[in-house]
A and B are shown apart, each in its own frame.
Chain A
Amino acid sequence: MKYFGLIWSNAWRKKIRTSLTILSVFVAFLLFALLSAVGYAFGVGANFADAERLIVINKITLINPLPIAYQNRIAATPGVRSVTHNTWFGGYYQDERNQFAQFPVDPEEYFSVYSELVLPDEQFEAWRKNRTGAIVGQALADQYGWEVGDRIPIQATIWTKADGGRSWEFDIEGIFSSKTAGAGATTFMLFQYDYFDEARAFGNGTIGWYVLRVDPDADPVQVADAIDQQFANSANETETSTEEAFAASFAKQYGDIGLIVRLILAAVFFTLLLVAGNTMSQSVRERISELAVLKTLGFTDMSVLWTVLAEALLILAIGAILGLGVGWLAVEGLNSQFGTQVPLYLTPMAFVTAFVIMVVAGILSGIMPALQAMRLTITDALARG
């Protein structure tokens, strides 16, 4: 720490140059934060994926439904512990911009499969007993200011009612939270499948996809194969995959967002390395004689190396902390506005990755000038100065 004043003063030797370098680092890490959050949003399903959960969809496409009659046969498959089903409702609240996910489900079955969701027992019972009851995630309730007891209309974009109406009304009986951290964990709504199936105009007796939990000692791959074999050559063949693989393939409908994000960031950080490395090289070239003086005073080769390297790390750290800080604020701000539609989140792993990038970029940009400073011969450098 006693060298900090020296390192700090040297870093600000050319204020405009250092400010511009920090600005470039800031932009790089701001971009990192925003793209990481976007990457999270596209992989949100995979983020919550459970290794013991399998997804069964219609082999043709996810959009094609499956018969509800499959449920008992799937449940009877060896290795299956519990089964539930999901259907995409695709409605909005009051305005088309207020879109979020809604799923008609069976309450008991759903909670047996999604054990990470937390709902007070009395709210669960109230929901179970009310056919038009619904439960909403905490984030969703916060966004729209909903409370237990509210009656809310959801406008259907797919599922018209048998009477031709598009407005579905639900009583909020509970607000759930999740043991899983991260945006998107509580941005959806669940309501009773029985009510949905009876009231809809078409598609009765079908569901969107099944979700099942396998026994801990069962092999998920074997279970998946067994399920698909049961329905082979039927009118509705199935395709079963792990929840993570399902979520990943779903996200890839938009392209390989993860790869795109990584490529952009690689380009950004490569440029950053050139900028920061150039700054450090110039800075060291300008003070060859000063470095020689430090050595004359008794600074060892290694301590000179470390002061130059620390200077590079300091510049990177200032830019990175500012970039991540502003990025985090931006993500939080965007999430509070649009989180139910596009759940943006900066994971702890994103921060760890940013820290590692910061340290590696700092070392890479500073190592050559630092080695040059370390290898300086005092007499030559003083003669040149």
Chain B
Amino acid sequence: MLDRRLPAPLTLTALAVVIGILVTTPLLINNNVFHHTLILIGIYAALAQAWNILGGFAGQISLGNAIFFGIGAYTSSLLLVRAQLSPWLGALAGMALAMVLALLIGYPVFRLAGHYLAIATIALAEIALVVFQNLEFVGGAAGISLPITRDMQGRPTDSWWMLQFNSSKLPYVYLALGVLGVVQVVATLLDRSWIGFFLRAIKNDQTAAAAIGVPVARYKLIALLISSACTALIGTFYAQYLLFVDPETVFGLSLSVLIALVAILGGAGSLWGPFLGAVVLIPLAEATRSQLGGRGTAFDLVIYGLLIMVIAVFQPAGLTGLPERFRPRQRTSVAPAAPADTQMEESLRS
């Protein structure tokens, strides 16, 4: 809505080129590391877009979106391990559970002014982390490994129904891009509907929004519900890709922060910011992770924190806001207009 609109044919061409590149390169470059990076980009871009609907459009900052991600990952995994249920159905169950939790968080929190959403989501994600680490029923700190799907002869096989592919990463690449596509379409449709207008009005000035009839608390809740459902869906997909879930990975604070950071770096509130942020940040994050050593050091969190501060101070609009920065200054208020009074007189006469 707020993007400076390119002419429609140009936008469509650009979109077609991006989709074309995303679809063809995984086929041309048949390399596991490349495929893995693409999958992560897809996942994080989708997660950041889900965050963006809430944080970017509506201005409601969540620093605990991992709670919904973890619920999605654990729900489908547990249903798969305990009841042999297809992850497709598990995903639906996870989304429903995430939305119930979102309702429980959002209903009280959105009746308060201030940044209580950030506090509430961080707290709940941390509680979930500890609970899942100590609950044997859900695998404890060691987590859950998902069973390999096998054919009649007992060999690992591919199955769309069980959402598992053992012969190649390629289906996961397209699934990740598909999930990203779904979330991207959801965000675009919201952006172009009254809901998007209401969310942006709330972000801009919620008192003014209420004065012209926007039910502020209800629409914040709607944004949270949509964000949580999308995040849970991605959680299920992530579990199916790793075939493993553990509390630290899916509920950890560093995941929540990284989700927000990808969106903020790309440009919070813009439709293509989350994707751009993921393309730039995820390969970097992967590289630094392998260079700086693994978990437990929390060094990645230090870097993320620094990045957030730098962006907040120097480039709050993120990467998608950069062209604006280098554009020659144009004072819109001096733009030629019909003399206001004659114009108004005319319109009043008609």
Partners in one complex: no
Residues of A within 8 A of B (CB): none
Residues of B within 8 A of A (CB): none
